[in-house]
Amino acid sequence: MQQQGDVLIAPSILSADFGHLADEIQAVERGGADWIHVDVMDGRFVPNITFGPALVEAARRATELPLNLHLMIVEPERLIDDFAKAGADHLVIQAEPSATIHLHRVLSRIRDLGKSAGVALNPGSSLALIEEVLHLCDNIIVMTVNPGFGGQAFLPETLPKLSRLRHMCRERGLTPRITVDGGITTKTARAAVEAGADVLVAGSSIFATKDYGRAIRDIRASTLVSA
């Protein structure tokens, strides 16, 4: 039986009100968030452009919760030191060669900086991309939407990959956090957890509500799975 609280909730500030970002971050922290998820986009790996190190610095001042940065950028090796200095706790890079051809090197560098290192896989990307670096990953994000925009619908065809990833980690005696990002609501969270996720990134399903705390509690409660 999975107990409430085993699953971490990471509100994505991509869906927050940027004009009152510090207030928004503090509101989800009061509401029971475990991490703050920051989607960094460069307009190259994905079409959108979002946050840089200066905003991460501002977010760091607003909260003591871990800042979970998902770097949807080309050549993350150019910026990981800056994001680490700005206050990121977790630095997650895309596993696809179109992001970096130096996956092992970049993950190793993140760990050398004393930060939690991780990889993210797009819906169409194979687990084969990360098999050789799995031991360097503290956090693995399985994208359940195509990255670049908030508010998209959950892709259920990603669930088998999530299950295979959890099985692969168990076989190797590894215990990374497995995160699902995209389309997480009270209707999809349980399926993600049943498939193997233990961190849920949620954006509009929290920030589009009037009561962030209730939204976080409802998502967490929906993940309870009977034995």
Residues designated catalytic: 39, 181
218 labelled as ligand-binding?
Answer: no
151 labelled as ligand-binding?
Answer: yes
135 labelled as ligand-binding?
Answer: no
148 labelled as ligand-binding?
Answer: yes
**Phi, psi (deg, nearest 5) at residue 191:** -60, -40
183 labelled as ligand-binding?
Answer: yes
149 labelled as ligand-binding?
Answer: yes
| Nearest-10 Cα torsion for 195, 197, 198, 200 | -120
How many Å apart are CA 214 and CA 27, to the nearest integer?
11
Contacts with 210 (C-beta within 8 Å, 6 or more apart), sequence order: none
222 labelled as ligand-binding?
Answer: no
How many Å apart are CA 227 and CA 225, to the nearest integer?
6
Contact between residue 209 and residue 15 where contact means Cβ atoms under 8 Å apart: no
Which residues line the annotated binding site?
A: 12, 37, 39, 70, 148-151, 181-183, 203-204
Which residues line the annotated binding site for a divalent metal cation?
A: 37, 39, 70, 181
